[in-house]
Amino acid sequence: MEKITTEKNRSLTGVFYHPSFSRRSYLTIGTRLKEFPEAFKPLREKFSNIVIFESKPISEELILRVHSPELLEGVRKDNLCSTAWHSAGGVVEATEKVYSGDIRNAFCFIGAGGHHAGKRNFWGFCCFNDVVLAIRNLRDKYGSAKIAIIDTDAHHGDGTRELIRDSSDVLHYCICSNDYSSEDGLKIDVSYFDKTPDGYLELVRNFAEYVRSFEPYLIFWYFGHDTHEGDYGDIGLTVRDYLKMAEILIALAEEICNGRIVVVLGGGSSPRIATESSLAIIEKLASTSGRVQG
């Protein structure tokens, strides 16, 4: 079932970005990437194994394999979704490159979010469901792909859940304000209510147990920094906590699926937090992939 990768450049970390994400993104999250692309500089000087890819627009033919024509029409008419094509396109390409062994791991910047976009409806700064589109692309090109998703955005990933509800080859673990587990144990919500930052990290560690028994080929980390102190989904987390999450999840990908992890930016509005947290996560990805020879 799984494609045998050629393991070409497994010491590379791919960063997917498009200049429009810093100029004309969705309203609330629209200015958070204003420090880019200049903010990449120090990391590029430090890590020669980081490759920056300019995100390409996704094809509408692929969009229509996941979303309804009405959703596509609605997104087209919504000025706040102008970056949606490049946002989803970057995630699709990053996932394919990690899957096929062109790069070891990836971080995807976006201008419009993904996890609130379902088959027919989109809301909450989301337009096209980037992660589900990337999974659909893998399935159509390579056959079925066993995938695990962890969602640490402050909000429930309702669109993603709707779209993968019946997929027995997708584990979806969402840390939000709900508690839920499907009968087969593959669709899980765990609540962060009453949790300290350490308690939250425990919920991230618990994901590892599901992943160890599910044995996915690739892990998505849907990362929202709206959970940061002072951001709009504040649950008291800080960049230091994000770095710990990165350590847990990247080590898990190394242990279970040969390092294949794609980090996708979700919600959050603060430029300072966006810059600090994304650079910290990319640094962790690059230092991990850089240790691997061949």
Place of tokens 């659909």: 136
Contacting range for Zn ion; rule: CB under 5 A; set: 63-71, 101-109, 137-145, 149-157: 149-157
284 is an interface residue for Zn ion by CB under 5 A: no
243's CB contacts (< 8 A; 6+ apart) are: 280, 281, 284
Question: Which 3 state secondary structure label does DSSP give 247?
Answer: helix
Tell me 198's DSSP state: H
> Among 150, 171, 176, 282, which residue interacts with Zn ion (rule: CB under 5 A)?
176
User: C-beta of 78: minimal distance to Zn ion in Å?
Assistant: 18
- For position 267 contacting Zn ion by CB under 5 A, the verdict is yes
With CB under 5 A as the contact rule, which of the stretches 91-99, 102-110, 147-155, 206-214 interacts with Zn ion?
Answer: 147-155
If one asks whether residue 118 binds Zn ion (CB under 5 A), the answer comes out as no
Task: Enter the tokens of residue 153.
Answer: 């955005």
Nearer to Zn ion, 174 or 253 (CB): 174
Secondary structure of residue 50 in the 3-state scheme: strand
Q: Which one of 226, 231, 241, 283 is in contact with Zn ion (CB under 5 A)?
A: 226
Among 121, 108, 134, which Cα is nearest to 72's?
Answer: 121
CB of 233 to Zn ion, least distance (A): 5
Nearer to Zn ion, 93 or 153 (CB): 153
CA dihedral (147, 96, 35, 113) positive or negative? negative
In Å, how far are 60, 122, 192 from 76, measured between CA atoms? 11, 12, 35
* Contact between 153 and Zn ion per CB under 5 A: yes
Q: By CB under 5 A, tell whether 174 contacts Zn ion.
A: yes
Dmax of the chain from CA atoms? 49
- Confirm if 129 and 117 have CB atoms less than 8 A apart: yes
Is 154 an interacting residue with respect to Zn ion (CB under 5 A)?
yes
Residue 15 burial (C-beta neighbours within 10 Å; 0-12, 13-18, 19+): buried
| Residue 190 is a binding residue for Zn ion (CB under 5 A) | no
- State the minimum distance, in angstroms, from the CB of residue 155 to Zn ion: 4
> Is 189 a residue that touches Zn ion (CB under 5 A)?
yes
Q: Which of 14, 89, 216, 224 binds Zn ion (CB under 5 A)?
A: 224
Residue 156 binding Zn ion, by CB under 5 A? yes
- The answer to whether residue 219 forms part of the interface with Zn ion (CB under 5 A) is no
What is the Cα–Cα distance from 265 to 244, expressed in whole angstroms? 17
Q: How near is the Cβ of 272 to Zn ion at its closest, in Å?
A: 18
Shortest gap between Cβ of 24 and Zn ion (angstroms)?
20
Output the CA–CA distances (angstroms, integers) from residue 75 to 14, 60, 121, 230, in the order listed: 27, 12, 10, 29
Binding site for Zn ion (CB under 5 A): 153-156, 174, 176, 189, 224, 226, 267
